[in-house]
Copies of this chain bind each other. A is one copy, B any other.
């Protein structure tokens, strides 16, 4: 019997009709069964008379399935498989945990440290493989990336593959998907998964010259269902309804609500769902939104957004480290690192991107390639600090550790406060009266941790660094 790792997926492949337009005419899917549970999954047409359905089992043991279709040759086909223990490195899909945080399927915490390469999967093998090589050594565990190709400054090249079929004159047929595109895209998705990188898939975006931003409602909805049918079984998928949804003039708020509901209904695994703004936020409190996906530069407001929406806050875009002419693409590495820390000590998660001018216009934020900036290694350092902290995630600590400065942690065991541009040469710490604490100074730029004092408790005054971009960590030792 076929073996499938837990959180990996089974692919059922059948031969069926190839004539007419199977994308419109053929219904295909399967019902998976595990003991008393049944899960209905949509399949998809993969061209050349081939039909597939993919399924990610979430429990170990024997599963069975039966297909369903409006075509006899695809209907009622049965099979079984055994779901076995996940291999090392397969920790399952990420979900919301403890209201404001995330965890993997196996319960391990997932601390989001994202980056952005919108169109990296549309750049051809050479550059795409370079991007994967870079990611293998980078500190990022999430990638924001577009399904559709992108048309924007520094990214005007044609993609190798197109999501929809095109005739010989290049005219796009929105009723037919292009399996070659999707297959290629899935390869990249699987490679990210194998690197431990979540893929925040951007389903729509405004930077378009092919018509993908202005399809009819029926086309939008068919596209969404096709994308979910193909991609949802990849455990590293997150759904982002859009990049800068509010810049897509052809869509109304009702469209966005409908898109969320289609994905919510079609996705058997309930992967994370969000939508990314340019200016005004979508109402992240709506029930189909799993987390607040935010573009903003004022990271000191993360705490406010947590309270407002009651969900994890992921500031995917807080400007990009770089030096281009646009204000959103030329913050310094120091400012990027500062924003990561600011978001972290408010109980949120932050995303990176990089836009350094390049002789061939290969800017990481759009095309991937290699990283040139100085923030990634500091983000790696922050990630290490966070991973050394409580597995439950960092929660704002009322009253803080050092009066007035933002502080997160888990009282009374762990506190992390960050001073940003402030440069105190003296701290007055408010530690609990019982317990002994080790207090450390963290230089967020130099990536150094130094013990300030050990065995202290209660209110105590300590000399401190007197320079900016420092944090302080207090851990209960006994």
Contact = CB atoms under 8 A, between A and B. Distances in A.
Interface of A: 322-327, 330-332, 334-335, 356-357, 402-405, 419, 421-428, 461, 466-468
Q: Give the copy number.
A: 2
A428 B327 CA distance: 11
B404 A327 contact: yes
A423 B330 contact: yes
26 contacts: A323-B423, A323-B425, A323-B466, A324-B425, A324-B426, A325-B402, A325-B403, A325-B426, A325-B427, A325-B461, A326-B403, A326-B404, A326-B424, A327-B403, A327-B404, A327-B422, A330-B419, A330-B422, A330-B423, A330-B424, A331-B421, A332-B423, A332-B467, A334-B468, A356-B425, A357-B426
Nearest to A467: B332
A346 to B, nearest CB: 15
Given A332-B423, A421-B335, A327 B405 contact: yes
Shortest 5 CB-CB distances between A and B: which pairs?
A323-B425, A327-B404, A323-B466, A335-B421, A330-B422
A330 B327 CA distance: 28
Contact of A428 (B322, B325, B428): B325
Contacts of A466: 323
A312 B435 CA distance: 53
Given A323-B466, A403-B325, A425 B331 contact: no
A330 B421 CA distance: 8
Nearest to A426: B325
Contacts of A422: 327, 330-331
A422 B423 CA distance: 21
A423 B326 contact: no
B335 A468 contact: yes
A314 B16 CA distance: 75
A212 to B, nearest CB: 27
By CB atoms of chain B within 10 A, which of A324, A405, A428, A461 has the most?
A324
A467 B334 CA distance: 11
Contact of A468 (B324, B332, B403, B426): B332
Contacts of A402: 325
A373 to B, nearest CB: 11
A354 to B, nearest CB: 12
A335 B467 CA distance: 12
B323 A426 contact: yes
By CB atoms of chain B within 10 A, which of A327, A422, A467 has the most?
A422
A237 to B, nearest CB: 34
A338 to B, nearest CB: 9
A111 to B, nearest CB: 25
Contacts of A326: 403-404, 424
A357 B357 CA distance: 43
Contact of A425 (B357, B421, B461): B357
A20 B323 CA distance: 75
Contacts of A468: 331-332, 334-335
A322 to B, nearest CB: 8
A421 B297 CA distance: 12
Contacts of A357: 425-426
By CB atoms of chain B within 10 A, which of A332, A404, A421, A466 has the most?
A421
B323 A424 contact: yes
A171 to B, nearest CB: 35
Contacts of A423: 322-323, 330-332
Contacts of A322: 423
Contacts of A325: 402-403, 424, 426-428, 461
Nearest to A469: B332
By CB atoms of chain B within 10 A, which of A326, A332, A356, A423 has the most?
A423
A466 B461 CA distance: 41
A356 to B, nearest CB: 8
